[in-house]
Structure 1
Amino acid sequence: MAIELAALPWDRTALEPHVSGDTLDLHHGRHHRAHVDAVNALAPAAGMGSASLEEIVRGTQGALQAHAAQVWNLAFQWRGLKPAAAGGGGEPQGALAEAIARRFGDFARFRQRFAETATALQGSGWIWLLQRPDGSVTLAVTANTASPITGEDRPLFGLSLWEHAYVLDYREARGRYIEAIWNVVDWNFVASNMK
């Protein structure tokens, strides 16, 4: 079963001015596509030609696992973003808001901790809002292409910290990119990932 490039759930310019169409052309159209192509090239030789993407991420190592994890991570990220004009941004509600408040104190402190954690990562990777097996939430970074679906925590939201995710729009200012992303988070999607 060939892995396909997940279509963006909105037009390539829909997240502007927070994330440009040019960035999405680079990040989705070039990098995400390259990872999909690599998985499809490598999976058959590893005996994983008919495996699902999740099976490949969890059941392989090396280059195939790295590319598959990045495909999964990116597809998950796109679903967690929503144009501001369509209701993206704002603050979480309900059980998600309560879980964030229990762990971080309030939403403002959560955002501050998220930014501190994301900007502290040296090099490329991801920042994740995760739900632990006990139902609590936490933040974690993964280096390079690592994905939390290989562990026990449940991903609620993931954001790429690879330079190509923000360099066209924000140059090297990862902190400005993080600040802009709050305008386009789809909190309904994030909440839907909770157990």
Structure 2
Amino acid sequence: MFQLPDLPYPYEALEPTISAATMRLHHDKHHARYVAVVNELVANNPAARGPLEALVKQAAIDGQRKLFNNAGQAWNHGFFWQSMTGEYRAPSGALLDAIVAAFGSLAALGSKFKEEGGGHFGSGWVWLVAKGSALAVTTTHDGEGVITEPGVTPLLVCDLWEHAYYLDHQNDRAGFLTGWWDRLANWSFAEQQYAAAAGAGSAWTYPAPNA
């Protein structure tokens, strides 16, 4: 069975941008429900074994939308927790060089990220991804992610579903995105992901299921 991973920081670590109340609701209720539904769907399916990444990809191929949506949401949320930190520092090294090459500056990337996320219609996710050594910003709808795209490594993601920010920011998604980008983006994690995209180390994976 797949597990709900623990947060990599205390519930209150992301305040004031994201409150402890939001984190408890988001992690303990929303993420937990996606994981529970995935386990219900695969309980009697011997073929649905192995890592969550493989399950997401196979569900997409097979057109199993309920499984794809819930497995995708479980994976996206696991990655989202890693994409944030309460101890912000700016990117450096090879990733910063790639940011400057692709966008001109970190500030320009921030504007692009917030513009794409703020302009996304409905629920979904805004991603910073690596395609080889090149960077791009993209959005996905609902439970869709980027791990089904060949050659793409996610570096950071921000949740655009209202349950991610409504308690703290009401309907001000733009304000949430600004606070998230300026204070919570986990560049240490993104640097590790970028190194993995270049073949140095392994990219993050969802915790393996229990036997």
Take 1:31 and 1:8, find their aligned partners in 2: how far apart are those partners? 13
The one-letter code matched in structure 2 to 1:19 is: I
| Residue 184 of structure 2: aligned partner | 184
DSSP 3-state at the match of 1:129: strand
Q: What is the CA distance between 1:55 and its match in structure 2?
A: 1.2
TM-score normalised to the size of structure 1? 0.93
For residues 104-183 of structure 1, the aligned pairs below 5 Å read 104-133=103-132, 135-152=133-150, 153-182=152-181, 183=183
Q: Tell me how far 1:45 sits from its aligned partner.
A: 3.7
Aligned position for 1:28 = 27
Residue aligned with 2:174, SS = helix
2:21 is the alignment partner of 1:18: no
> Structure 2, unaligned stretches of length 5 or more?
199-211
Number of residue pairs matched?
189
Show structure 1 runs of 4+ deviating over 6 A: none
2 CA distance for matches of 1:26 and 1:49? 28
Would the aligned equivalents of 2:3 and 2:35 in 1 still touch at CA under 8 Å? yes
- Deviation of 1:147 (Å): 1.2
State the identity %. Answer: 33
Partners of 2:45 and 2:139 in 1: how far apart? 28
CA-CA distance at 1:48 after TM superposition: 4.1
User: Tell me, what secondary structure is at the counterpart of 1:137?
Assistant: strand
Contact 2:48 2:55 in 1 (8 A): no
- Residue matched to 1:77: 80
Q: How many Å separate the matches in 2 of 1:29 and 1:48?
A: 28
Q: Indicate if the aligned counterparts of 1:53 and 1:68 stay in contact, CA closer than 8 A.
A: yes
RMSD: 1.1
The answer to whether the 8 A contact 1:69-1:147 is kept is yes
Q: Deviations over 1:10-43 (max 9, x none)?
A: 1111111111011111111110000000000001
- Tell me the residue number matched to 2:69: 66
Structure 2 length-normalised TM: 0.86
Superposed CA offset, 1:121-155 (max 9, x none): 0100000000013x100000001110100012110
Question: Contact between 2:83 and 2:185, CA under 8 Å: does it hold in 1?
Answer: yes
**What code does the residue aligned with 1:131 have?**
A
Unaligned runs of 5+ in 1: none
Deviation at 1:49, TM superposition (A): 4.3
